[in-house]
Amino acid sequence: MDRILPVEDTEISGLALKSFQAQGMTIHTGAKVNGLKAGANEVTADLEIDGKAQSLTFDRAILAVGIVGNVENIGLEGTGVVVDRSHVVVNEWSETGEPGVFAIGDLAGPPWLAHKASHEGVICVEHIAGLATHPLDVSNIPGCTYCRPQIASVGLTEEAAIEQGHEVNVGRFPFMANGKAIALGDPEGQVKTVFDAKTGELLGAHMIGPEVTEMIQGYAVARTAEATEAELMHTVFPHPTLSEAMHESVLDSFGRVIHF
């Protein structure tokens, strides 16, 4: 890929890259691994970086190339279950093409997240039981990357929002201006919010910094409740907290930031 964290907002990806490099990591993007040779205590990798062949030696090589569904040898042959690229095709209630057969979680496709699978399971069972339930809106599922600094997001990136035809208002607030982050000695990162300029809809939120994997749920609730910028700006955030950066980012989206 041409950048790390390709599903995240480009700006957040760039901040993460700078942070990782500052920690001493060497990162190559747009690179290819053409071969690996294992030695007794090392691995030699034949790489193609910026079109140039290189051979580098490492202690370990870790390969992570994605997720496939566990669909083999589970009796799907001869049924109405449809498999597409190793994932079982389901409708909004997790029903497959075979009556009485349901599929949830990684087996049913992305996003491959435990909290997505758990919520799908609840919806599926409620539907089977005949209870009133709701389809899962995957655009409201928060994603978290548990690195340092932490990264979390929900909804559309700025680029995706523009591609979908939205006129956007974008706000940012750095943790270096947040009192709690300074007190914790962890002021790296920022909160970024993307709003529809016409309706005030919160299109997406993107965060990098201390405990953002905990804070992202606030924006997830806002999207589920269809809150606009007005409700978020009028919400009182406690002080001193990291979450104040969320409030300030919303205010900045509309030119009303206070503490920066």
Extents of the domains making up the chain? 10-58, 83-136, 140-253
* CATH number, span 140-253: 3.30.390.30
DSSP 74-116: SS-TTSS--EETTEE---TT-B-SSTT-B--GGGG-SS--HHH
Catalytic (active site) residue 127: no
For residue 64, the model assigns a pLDDT of 84
Q: What is the average pLDDT across 223-234?
A: 96
**Which amino acid is residue 106, in one-letter code?**
D
Query: How many CB atoms lie under 10 A from the CB of residue 167?
Result: 11
Is beta strand 52-58 parallel, antiparallel or unpaired with respect to 32-38? unpaired
Nearest-CA neighbor of 121 among 94, 83, 99, 86? 94
Sign of the Cα torsion 142, 199, 242, 178 reads: positive
193 pLDDT tier (thresholds 50, 70, 90): very high
Tokens (6 digits) for 249: 């980012």
Q: Tell me, what's the pLDDT at 163? A: 97
The single-letter code of the amino acid at 90 is: V
pLDDT recorded at residue 44: 97
| Averaged confidence pLDDT in the chain | 96
Among 206, 239, 247, 259, the one annotated catalytic: 239
Reply yes or no: is the peptide bond before residue 149 cis, omega within 30 of 0.
Answer: yes
pLDDT at 226 over 90: yes
pLDDT, tens digit, 9 for 90 and up, residues 88-112: 999 999 999 999 999 999 999 999 9
Dihedral Cα 238, 240, 243, 248, nearest 10 deg: 90
The architecture (CATH level 2) of 10-58 comes to: 3-Layer(bba) Sandwich (3.50)
CA–CA gap between residue 37 and residue 191 (Å, rounded): 42
